[in-house]
Amino acid sequence: MTIRIVALDVGVKTIGVAITDESGLIASPLHTIARKQSIYDDLDKLKLSLESFFPLVALVIGWPLTADGSEGKMVEIVRGFEKRLALHFPDTPIFREDERFSTNEALEHLKRRSGTKEKKKKSGRLDAVAAAVILTRFLESTQGQNLISDS
C-alpha cells in the first residue's frame, strides 16, 4: 500500500512542498510554488502538482512558532491558508508541526550539500527543503502511531 504524506512550508511569497516516499518513511523536498495574489490559485496549483501522488494519507503544515514557543506573526496567514487547504483537500487530515528553525536547518543542509555559502534568497529550493525538515520532524514525532485507521 502506498502511503504519501505531504508537508508545506507556507510563506508570504512561496510555499515549500515536501513528500514522503511510497512507504511514508522518508521525506524529500518536492518543489517550491511561487504564490500568486489569490490563495485559491495557490491551492489549485498545489492540488494539480500533487495529483499524481493521490491519495494522500495526510497533509502537514508548518506552524510558525517563535523561539519561545508562542505563536509568531505568520500564524494568522498560515491559519487562513490551513482553513482553505481543508476545503481543497476535504478527505485528507491536516496536522500542524512546529516549524521553528526549519529554514535555518534547511539552509545549513543546502550549504553542506553544495559546498558553497549559499544565500537564503538565492535558493529557490530552500522552502522545499524546509518543508522536508518539517515533514521529517512530523514523521519522527508520530513514529509508530497509526495516523489513519485504513492505511
pLDDT tens digits for range 75-88:
999 999 999 999 99
On the question of pLDDT at 132 being above 50, the answer is yes
With the C-alpha atoms ordered 22, 54, 10, 143, is the resulting torsion angle positive or negative?
negative
pLDDT recorded at residue 27? 97
Predicted TM-score (pTM) of the model is 0.88
CATH topology of domain 5-141: Nucleotidyltransferase; domain 5 (3.30.420)
Domain ranges of the chain: 5-141
* C-alpha 2, offset from chain centre: 19
Q: What is the mean pLDDT of the chain?
A: 89
For the segment 38-51, the average pLDDT, to the nearest whole number, is 96
Which pLDDT value is given to residue 128?
Answer: 95
85-117: per-residue pLDDT in tens? 999 999 999 999 999 988 888 888 888 887 665
Please list, in sequence order, all residues whose beta carbon lies within 8 angstroms of the beta carbon of residue 138, skipping any fewer than 6 positions away: 5, 7, 60, 95, 97
| Cβ pair 92, 41 in contact under 8 A | no
